[in-house]
Chains A and B, each alone.
Chain A
């Protein structure tokens, strides 16, 4: 029996009587016998208690006991209790898209505030109310740049997440777009190559800061060069780092996107996450996704509505700027709560703590014989470590010691077998970092054949 169905036998009888039929089956006569299921062989239902127990059992098969030094764009940050408590309010999570603004001011005002904090963080003029995740946001940004410039070449920096680059390739496979990729030199974007490739056909240069290797950059010079050639610059950012780092706005970047998971969202084995996008005012009509705007009601009171909807699929259908409908409102509101709880000083301190812990770990790792930490450019909370032997083997041995020590670069970059990227967030204690380096030392000191 389905416990979420409220109708009693009597209710059902009363409704059937009203309809002048004797059985629910009579409502399904449009479905012909030959259209009935050939099979519907599912297990019997279970009680809530049994299901919860089963899921605890399944959860125990996941190695969440490992101490995490893995990042790659997705980070193990602390989430203040107030955030978890507030986002669990049913008024937020069991509402739908605010089609009726009078009874959805909670969601609408929160999304307006979200757009505003994204602008404050990135130094941009306008943001949308979210996209699915960082990867789809990058794709949407590229499509937006093609629409604005009506050109078709895209220059992609090798420091952009290789996962996102793969996604972008999939989506654009059927479209007439010329992709060119530039390598990373000394950890940062290759100016010379980018300038060489910039031409009148270039729609956009796509950059990331900090990049996939954790390196920080100031892209203002690349932006200026791109603008000279009539191209736009898209930058993917890590929002926690913007507590300290130069904003894309200050670099005159045109479209900023990013993965907002670090802003109070659990890792959740990959989702749901939070894609965000901000741009310059002049491009707002080419921006995809929902936008909440302020206005007044009949009595002149300030209120909020979905606006500029003429860009969207439910109005424009095949001519829309994107096919996106449901986005990730709840995740956006969760990020707003996180940033509100942390506040202006809090975010700065939070970012500084990430920087300090990573630097400490970097120094400790450098002390190990044969381990080299790349120092050609400054980094935020993640950095590249070169090991004296295959990184995969070392990472596997570290797992046995209780550490997810880093992510092997060879998975996405050829010829980088001995390299891994190590992320250190504010959650990693000095003690954990010391044990991490001790274990690594031990592993590297043992017989090569063991790894």
Chain B
């Protein structure tokens, strides 16, 4: 498909900029102006609408396809939350209004939403306070680890490293490193959870804390968690909960009750806000009381008269981690979702997400190798290692599924499972949609037996076949106007 630049025709008008009602044009000294206009496309509005409509049709999305991308919780994004986010009173609200004199009064609705979302998340996760500011999950991790550092500094603790299981998301070690900590990796045991004996070996007073996802990326709930928390707390380490997989346990257990001190959530996973082709997300961070003084500023408070205000008066705060109050319009969507579902609706989320995942596990385990053959939570991880011996790798099965009309599961993650195929159906898919996916996987299995060689040809139904990724990196071309790159 042509690029928008290749559809450009010199002097073709697009948008009509309003005529000036203030008279003469101002001239800026040439010293300050660009020598030539930016080479933006010159297309009509219709050209533009067709271009982006056609581009959109080259995507698989939750709206168009089953999207069981493990660890990403690609559930349906209810449309009413879009309508709400677009209400003028939210969409057109300037963030600096809240910082004008009496600004709190100009933004009561927005502050109330931030406050009440924080309260809801506290109850859902068993924490005492939240910051809604982090702009994505990894940003929340960084915020959480910085608070961990501030906590230890305030107590005069000299800490060096953070403990992370080998099944963790890559963002965990990356966030720890940026906050100035080294990391120690702990392997998983035969049950698929962190090996507690190995933890005991490595855990010393130098440990700032432990970062854990529970259920983990193997889709397994670690029920030794309370014991792990005791061990870590005994050396004055902090327990950090990566909320990426919270969807599985909504209403069944809470990180706060499991002994975690810091939690980050991904609103675009559990709370159904759209993923947007890779963001925007939102990564609120919750803490226990002991860590509340270190939360970023500003924080939203509630006065005796029921009004809300921005409070900057926290001398131990780590400071500003974002320009304003978080990805507000994402928070609005999440809060609307929480309000609609209510207590019972939220509990049903985890129940059906887990039921759907186990159903897939049960039906496919005769055909594909299960790394851990036991009850799973929201996702199940198969290994295509046996198929790989016949020359059909996890990625080839993924490409086959694209042709069958499914977005592939996550492949090659977690790193702890060879040829991993990680499937997360979420609660919003019907049994019929899931059955269709299971049938496609079984067909793949049969085809691997008969004709493994054809798998290299998939996908065939998409606008492009497999891209040459080596060429992309070697002959880097990331800017249309600088092709020599």
A399 to B98 CA separation, bound complex (whole angstroms): 12
Across the interface, which residues of A come within 8 angstroms of B24, CB to CB? 356
* Residue of chain B at shortest CB distance from A363: B22
Query: Contacts A38-B126, A102-B464, A343-B42 hold; do A46 and B328 have CB atoms under 8 A apart?
Result: no
> Is B223 interfacial (CB-CB < 8 Å)?
yes
Q: Is the CB of A331 within 8 A of B279?
A: yes
Query: Contacts A95-B275, A106-B55 hold; do A316 and B34 have CB atoms under 8 A apart?
Result: no
Q: Which size class do B's interface residues fall under?
A: 35 or more
Q: Is the CB of B63 within 8 A of A303?
A: no
Interface residues of A in 5-61 (CB under 8 A from B): 5-7, 11-12, 14-16, 18-19, 24, 27-32, 34-48, 51-52, 54-61
Q: Is the CB of A399 within 8 A of B88?
A: no
Query: Contacts A109-B58, A330-B280, A333-B277 hold; do A344 and B37 have CB atoms under 8 A apart?
Result: yes
Across the interface, which residues of A come within 8 angstroms of B80, CB to CB? 48, 51-52
Contact with A along B252-275 (1 / 0, CB 8 A): 111001100000000010001011
Across the interface, which residues of B come within 8 angstroms of A126, CB to CB? 476, 478-479, 482, 485
Q: Is the CB of A317 within 8 A of B407?
A: no
Contact with A along B342-379 (1 / 0, CB 8 A): 11111111011011101100110000000000010100
Q: Is the CB of B354 within 8 A of A28?
A: yes
> Is B413 interfacial (CB-CB < 8 Å)?
yes
Interface residues of B in 203-260 (CB under 8 A from A): 220-221, 223, 225-226, 249, 251-254, 257-258
> Is A192 interfacial (CB-CB < 8 Å)?
no
Across the interface, which residues of A come within 8 angstroms of B417, CB to CB? none
* Residue of chain A at shortest CB distance from B176: A318
Query: Contacts A4-B428, A268-B93, A326-B281 hold; do A341 and B15 have CB atoms under 8 A apart?
Result: yes
Across the interface, which residues of A come within 8 angstroms of B436, CB to CB? none
Across the interface, which residues of B come within 8 angstroms of A62, CB to CB? 89-90, 93, 106-110
| Stretch among B71-79, B384-392, B442-450 lining the A interface | B71-79
A353 to B336 CA separation, bound complex (whole angstroms): 38
Across the interface, which residues of A come within 8 angstroms of B440, CB to CB? none
Query: Contacts A62-B109, A294-B472 hold; do A30 and B221 have CB atoms under 8 A apart?
Result: yes
Q: Is the CB of B359 within 8 A of A18?
A: yes
- Cβ distance A438 to chain B, nearest Cβ, rounded Å: 16
Interface residues of B in 395-425 (CB under 8 A from A): 398-399, 402, 407-408, 410, 413
Across the interface, which residues of A come within 8 angstroms of B108, CB to CB? 61-62
Q: Is the CB of B278 within 8 A of A244?
A: no
Across the interface, which residues of B come within 8 angstroms of A267, CB to CB? 91-95
A322 to B351 CA separation, bound complex (whole angstroms): 36
> Is A384 interfacial (CB-CB < 8 Å)?
no
Contact with A along B36-61 (1 / 0, CB 8 A): 01111111010011011101111111
| Stretch among A74-82, A149-157, A178-186, A227-235 lining the B interface | A74-82
- Cβ distance B22 to chain A, nearest Cβ, rounded Å: 4
Interface residues of A in 390-439 (CB under 8 A from B): 392-393, 395-396, 399, 404, 407-408, 411, 426, 429-430, 433
Interface residues of A in 147-168 (CB under 8 A from B): 163-164, 166-167
- Cβ distance B218 to chain A, nearest Cβ, rounded Å: 12
A51 to B433 CA separation, bound complex (whole angstroms): 29
Q: Is the CB of B15 within 8 A of A242?
A: no
Across the interface, which residues of B come within 8 angstroms of A42, CB to CB? 120, 123-124, 338, 342-343, 346
Q: Which listed residue, A89, A100, A166, A250, touches B402 by the CB 8 Å rule?
A: A100
> Is A444 interfacial (CB-CB < 8 Å)?
no
A127 to B481 CA separation, bound complex (whole angstroms): 12
> Is B82 interfacial (CB-CB < 8 Å)?
yes
Across the interface, which residues of A come within 8 angstroms of B199, CB to CB? none
A91 to B67 CA separation, bound complex (whole angstroms): 12
A35 to B228 CA separation, bound complex (whole angstroms): 13
Q: Which listed residue, B20, B67, B74, B138, touches A353 by the CB 8 Å rule?
A: B20
Q: Is the CB of A323 within 8 A of B428?
A: no
A341 to B176 CA separation, bound complex (whole angstroms): 42
Q: Which listed residue, B3, B28, B74, B276, touches A93 by the CB 8 Å rule?
A: B276
Query: Contacts A39-B123, A55-B84 hold; do A107 and B277 have CB atoms under 8 A apart?
Result: yes
* Residue of chain A at shortest CB distance from B307: A61
| Stretch among A116-124, A193-201, A368-376 lining the B interface | A116-124
> Is A226 interfacial (CB-CB < 8 Å)?
no
Across the interface, which residues of B come within 8 angstroms of A171, CB to CB? 142, 146, 321
> Is B296 interfacial (CB-CB < 8 Å)?
yes
Query: Contacts A106-B56, A269-B328, A317-B174 hold; do A217 and B277 have CB atoms under 8 A apart?
Result: no
Q: Is the CB of B124 within 8 A of A345?
A: no
Contact with A along B457-469 (1 / 0, CB 8 A): 0010011111111
Q: Is the CB of B34 within 8 A of A242?
A: yes
Across the interface, which residues of B come within 8 angstroms of A294, CB to CB? 472, 477-478
Query: Contacts A96-B67, A318-B177, A343-B43 hold; do A82 and B59 have CB atoms under 8 A apart?
Result: no
Q: Is the CB of A97 within 8 A of B40?
A: no
Query: Contacts A52-B83, A113-B4, A341-B14 hold; do A167 and B183 have CB atoms under 8 A apart?
Result: no
> Is B173 interfacial (CB-CB < 8 Å)?
yes
> Is B136 interfacial (CB-CB < 8 Å)?
yes
Contact with A along B94-125 (1 / 0, CB 8 A): 11111111100111111011000000100110
Q: Is the CB of B481 within 8 A of A51?
A: no
A102 to B401 CA separation, bound complex (whole angstroms): 11
Query: Contacts A330-B277, A429-B21 hold; do A408 and B359 have CB atoms under 8 A apart?
Result: no
> Is A388 interfacial (CB-CB < 8 Å)?
no
Q: Is the CB of A313 within 8 A of B138?
A: yes
Q: How many residues of A contact B (CB 8 A)?
A: 205
- Cβ distance B34 to chain A, nearest Cβ, rounded Å: 5
> Is A225 interfacial (CB-CB < 8 Å)?
no
Across the interface, which residues of B come within 8 angstroms of A266, CB to CB? 91-92, 329
Q: Is the CB of B221 within 8 A of A295?
A: no
Q: Is the CB of A92 within 8 A of B277?
A: yes
Q: Is the CB of B344 within 8 A of A1?
A: yes
Which among B377, B427, B476 has the greatest number of chain A C-beta atoms within 10 A?
A: B476
* Residue of chain B at shortest CB distance from A162: B320
> Is A252 interfacial (CB-CB < 8 Å)?
no
Q: Which listed residue, B51, B101, B136, touches A393 by the CB 8 Å rule?
A: B101
Q: Which listed residue, A90, A123, A269, A344, touches B95 by the CB 8 Å rule?
A: A269
> Is B1 interfacial (CB-CB < 8 Å)?
yes
Across the interface, which residues of B come within 8 angstroms of A324, CB to CB? 136, 138-139
A218 to B252 CA separation, bound complex (whole angstroms): 60
Across the interface, which residues of A come within 8 angstroms of B69, CB to CB? 96, 99
A417 to B278 CA separation, bound complex (whole angstroms): 43
Q: Is the CB of A242 within 8 A of B17?
A: no
Q: Which listed residue, B251, B377, B466, touches A40 by the CB 8 Å rule?
A: B251
A106 to B126 CA separation, bound complex (whole angstroms): 40
Q: Which listed residue, B48, B347, B352, touches A340 by the CB 8 Å rule?
A: B48
A16 to B354 CA separation, bound complex (whole angstroms): 11
* Residue of chain B at shortest CB distance from A109: B55
Q: Which listed residue, B74, B120, B139, B408, touches A100 by the CB 8 Å rule?
A: B408
> Is A446 interfacial (CB-CB < 8 Å)?
no
Across the interface, which residues of B come within 8 angstroms of A125, CB to CB? 479, 482, 485
Q: Is the CB of B34 within 8 A of A245?
A: yes
Interface residues of B in 115-168 (CB under 8 A from A): 120, 123-124, 126, 135-139, 141-142, 146, 149
Q: Which listed residue, A89, A303, A319, A360, touches B467 by the CB 8 Å rule?
A: A303
Q: Is the CB of A30 within 8 A of B479?
A: no
Q: Is the CB of A35 within 8 A of B375?
A: no
> Is A213 interfacial (CB-CB < 8 Å)?
no
Can you give 24 A-B contacts (C-beta < 8 A)? Answer: A46-B340, A52-B83, A64-B92, A89-B53, A92-B56, A93-B61, A102-B464, A109-B58, A136-B135, A169-B320, A246-B33, A250-B34, A270-B326, A271-B95, A271-B327, A298-B468, A314-B170, A316-B174, A317-B174, A320-B174, A326-B278, A340-B43, A356-B24, A378-B32
Query: Can you name 19 extra interface pairs (CB under 8 A) apart from A298-B465, A330-B277?
Result: A4-B427, A30-B375, A37-B251, A40-B124, A44-B344, A45-B341, A48-B340, A55-B84, A55-B87, A72-B96, A91-B57, A112-B478, A126-B478, A294-B472, A323-B174, A325-B138, A343-B40, A344-B40, A359-B26
